[in-house]
Amino acid sequence: MRLFQWTLLVAGSFLRFYEGGNLTNLYDDAWFQKQIEREGIDQEGRFSPFPPLDAFIMIPLAYLPPRYALQAWTIVNVLLLGANVLLLSKILRRDLVWSALLFLGTGIALVNNFRLGQFYLALSLLVSAGYLYWRKARFGRSGSLLGAGAALKYFPVLFLPLFIVRKEWRLIFSFLLTILILYGLSVLVLGTEVHRFYLSVLTSHLDGNIQDGYSATFQSWNSLLKRIFLPDPVWNPEPLVGWPPGYITIKFAIYGIVVFMTLRACRVAAASFGSDGASVQFALVTIAGLLLLPASATYHFLLLVLPVGLLLSADRAPWGLKQKMILGLFILIGFIPYRIFRVFDGRALLTFLAYPRLALMLAIFLSSISYTKERGRRNGQPGRQARETSPFTL
């Protein structure tokens, strides 16, 4: 089928669509590089297998020259940033300056979202709006917004287990129905061939194999554990340990521990935070999801604004030590100069120093868990009745 094709514009993922060509060529790195060069852009690039549905986002900009299209999308991103600040202010009941400063605290995440023409301010808005409607018990609208976000960028799928445990079936139905409708539209317009090809590379994508899956650039457990355990003649000729079963074993052990700790903390939050319990649960799930991303990028951490804001606003009292730690770690993620740590990548034990963002995310996760448990101890252990009436009973 010959419909839209995507051409990389700048170092990043901003896409232009134009008519003609076979969509499956997008996954051919050599072919894709030629299209970049044809646009007069002297940079290396590769098409990362985002859902084909993402093509619809840029259709209004499809007929603009590449750099004009990026400028137009930058204006859209400015408007999205303003909308995010307004919505966050409403959610947290904070003033606009406070909410704007929290977004500015993302530092390089916000800069790169603009510089690379990324979609994550839009995704942040969808997640925040979905959260707001969820807290207002308008489950149909919440599910539609979060489902739309999940159809475009998988991350909101991570909220489904929370909704399942809370037995919010209407939201789940709306969430899944929205995804089904959007993907049905995508197949109807773009055809089945590109979707079959996309599914053939999806598993590899979810394992963090986007470009060099061993690189510390992606700051994930996947890339760190590959560097330690998996030999590769090109990307990792001398792994630290060189024990392939260790990659799967340790990775899923980490996943299991994070999931277990999150479930325990969510149960404490339900019993200890009163009406704010659901908000803390949402924050914990988001932070756990960002910690376990198979391949993270700077702009992904715009999604950290809402959960950090929720945790900072969960107490009416002045912030305690754990909340101050969460804020400090959040700012470090946005402003630490990652470039200086890249020299350690692939250098035996020094490789661990090449993963500062992963370490900071782990610290935020542990601080959030500790803060939740501390609040539980402060309020006393919940009794039998509290456990039975909790909206998060395991």
> Out of 46-60, 255-269, 315-329, 376-390, which region has the weakest mean confidence (pLDDT)?
376-390
Look at residue 93 and tell me whether its pLDDT is greater than 80.
yes
Domain end (from 20, 49, 64): 64
> Out of 62-71, 284-293, 336-345, which region has the weakest mean confidence (pLDDT)?
62-71
**Threshold 0.75, pTM exceeds:** yes
Look at residue 352 and tell me whether its pLDDT is greater than 60.
yes
Q: How far apart are the first and last CA of the chain?
A: 49
Domain end (from 18, 48, 64): 64
Alpha carbon distance 287, 305 (integer Å): 10
pLDDT tens for each residue of 231-275? 998 889 889 998 999 999 999 999 999 999 999 999 999 998 988
> Out of 60-64, 98-102, 164-168, 333-337, which region has the weakest mean confidence (pLDDT)?
60-64
The predicted model gives 29-51 an average pLDDT of 67
Alpha carbon distance 99, 82 (integer Å): 10
Residue 174 counted as domain residue: no
pLDDT of 140 = 97
Alpha carbon distance 69, 261 (integer Å): 44
Q: What's the token pair of residue 166?
A: 């809370």
Which tops the pLDDT comparison, 382 or 358?
Answer: 358
Domain span at residue 40 reads: 2-64
The predicted model gives 112-141 an average pLDDT of 96
Look at residue 2 and tell me whether its pLDDT is greater than 60.
no
pLDDT band at 208 (very low <50, low <70, confident <90, very high): low
Q: Between the CA atoms of 145, 158, 124 and 366, what dihedral angle is there, to the nearest 10 degrees?
A: 150
The predicted model gives 152-160 an average pLDDT of 94
pLDDT of 16 = 38
Q: What's the token pair of residue 376?
A: 């539980």
Alpha carbon distance 245, 63 (integer Å): 49
Residue 158 counted as domain residue: no
The predicted model gives 170-195 an average pLDDT of 92
Domain end (from 64, 88, 117): 64
Residue 79 counted as domain residue: no
How many structural domains comprise the chain?
2
Residue 152 counted as domain residue: no
Residue 171 counted as domain residue: no
Residue 8 counted as domain residue: yes
Look at residue 383 and tell me whether its pLDDT is greater than 60.
no
Residue 355 counted as domain residue: yes
Average pLDDT, the chain: 86
CA-wise closest residue to 27 among 244, 264, 280, 196: 196
Print the SS3 string covering the chain: CEEEEEEECCCCCCEEEEEEEEHHHHHCHHHHHHHHHHCCCCCCCCCCCCCHHHHHHHHHHCCCCHHHHHHHHHHHHHHHHHHHHHHHHHHHCCCHHHHHHHHHCCCHHHHHHHHCCCCHHHHHHHHHHHHHHHHCCCHHHHHHHHHHHHHHCCHHHHHHHHHHHCCCHHHHHHHHHHHHHHHHHHHHHHCHHHHHHHHHHHHHHHCCCCCCCCCHHHCCHHHHHHHHHCCECCCECCCCCCCHHHHHHHHHHHHHHHHHHHHHHHHHHHHHCHHHHHHHHHHHHHHHHHHCCCCCCHHHHHHHHHHHHHHHCCCCCCCCHHHHHHHHHHHHHHHCCHHHHHHHCCCHHHHHHHCHHHHHHHHHHHHHHHHHHHHHHHCCCCCHHHHHHCCCCC
